[in-house]
Amino acid sequence: MNIVKTAVIGVGSLGQHHARILAKHEKSKLEFVVDADEKRAAKIAKASDTQYLTDFKQVIGKVDAVVISVPTQFHYQVAKPILESGIHCLVEKPFTMTVEESQELIEIAKSQNLILQVGHIERFNPAIIAAAPFVLKPKFIEVNRLGPYDLRNAHIGVVLDLMIHDIDMLLYLVKDKVISLEAHGAKVLSPTEDIAKVRFKFANGCVADVSASRVTIDKYRKIRIFQPDSYISIDYAGKSLKIYKMKTGKTILPFPLNIDITKPKIPTNEPLFYELDNFLNNIITGKPPLVGGQQGRDAVEIALNILKNMVY
């Protein structure tokens, strides 16, 4: 298989961009876009030069792979019959609403020998791609993800809406288990938490402080990684990276003369392209995804543990 027949289920603010990229990608033939809102489906289908449907089950038997970009509470009920029918899936984050749902989807995909990918797009952020080789032994990590309130995500709080990105990123960078966490939150604009601050402790001794807010006017998304002899600063939104590393030598110099600052070259494509390219390549080659069902499940499990232990 060199060309994957694809469909996008849910073509709202994010799904429309999945459709845009899959309509043009050389390894994809976008067969359908699907949305319960027929007017919306027709509009995106026209823009993507494809057909539209309003019932997602109508893609069964007609495509090889789908992207599921419906609201989180519907991920499981859409993904289950799609996987059971033998179709590869990329499910947007958060993977599911419960760990049990995540585990069941993982087992179905495994039994069907299917690619099951979860849309933790920050893994494909060009700044993260460039930074990853330099992250060796992180000791302390600080993350801030702030932004305005989005009514589309009012059904979940800021932990499942925004912080879930950084939970996955921490597991990827630290490469060890969370052994404890302390969580604080506040409800400002909704019945769920709109601000959250969590301190994670990992088995290898790394500590991470993560803040998420959806009551901030401007978007601010940065991660700072401290490790022996170096400090890595990543701007998710600006897709920029700086690495501060101590100079070696016998002479002790005052700060900042003892610091080398490097700015590695950042890839230019948008993260969503890299994510979908990975998905298509995995289907064609059979290689496991960078962010599979297990990684999506692990992030959900930690997010739900945060909510369970959150102090308001």
Within a domain: residue 296?
no
- Same-domain pairing of 255 and 279: no
Residue 205 has pLDDT above 60, yes or no: yes
Q: What is the CATH number of the domain that holds 204?
A: 3.30.360.10
- Per-residue pLDDT of 126-150, as tens digits, reads 999 999 999 999 999 999 999 998 8
Instruction: Give every CB contact of residue 151 below 8 A, 6+ residues apart in sequence.
Output: none
Residue 162 lies inside a defined structural domain of this protein? yes
Query: What is the rounded average pLDDT of the residues 30-59?
Result: 98
Q: Residue 254: its pLDDT value, please?
A: 55
Roughly how many angstroms between the first and final C-alpha of the chain, as a whole number? 52
Lowest-pLDDT range of 85-94, 101-110, 258-267, 299-308:
258-267
Is the CB of residue 59 less than 8 Å from the CB of residue 81? no
Distance of alpha carbon 196 from its chain centroid, rounded?
18
Alpha-carbon distance 191 to 208, whole Å? Answer: 27
Q: Which domain holds residue 206?
A: 123-269+301-309
Q: What is the structure's pLDDT at 256?
A: 58
Tokens read off for 167: 């939970």
Per-residue CA distances from 249 to 137, 138, 258 (Å): 22, 23, 10
Mean pLDDT over residues 212-235, rounded? 94
Tell me, yes or no, whether 132 and 259 share the same domain: yes
Of the candidates 192, 186, 187, 211, the one whose C-alpha atom is nearest the C-alpha of residue 154 is 192
Residue 295 located in a structural domain: no
pTM given for the model = 0.94
pLDDT > 70: percent of the chain: 96
CATH code of the domain containing 101: 3.40.50.720
3-state secondary structure of 230: strand
Count structural domains, the chain.
Answer: 2
Residue 192's pLDDT band, with cuts at 50, 70 and 90, is: very high
Mean pLDDT of 155-180: 96
Mean pLDDT of the chain: 94
- pLDDT range class, residue 154, cuts 50, 70, 90: confident
Average pLDDT over residues 280-299: 97
Q: Based on the fold, state whether residues 127 and 263 are members of the same structural domain.
A: yes
Q: Is 130 in the same domain as 110?
A: no
15 and 95 inside one domain: yes
Q: Which two tokens stand for residue 173?
A: 């960078």
Judgement on whether residues 137 and 262 belong to the same structural domain of the protein: yes
Tell me what the mean pLDDT of segment 106-116 comes to: 98
Give the CA radius of gyration of the chain: 20
Based on the fold, state whether residues 234 and 161 are members of the same structural domain.
Answer: yes
Q: What is the pLDDT of residues 239-284, one digit of tens each?
A: 899 999 877 654 555 555 578 889 988 888 899 999 999 999 999 9
- Residue 131 is assigned to a structural domain of this protein: yes
Check whether residue 103 and residue 188 sit in a common domain.
no
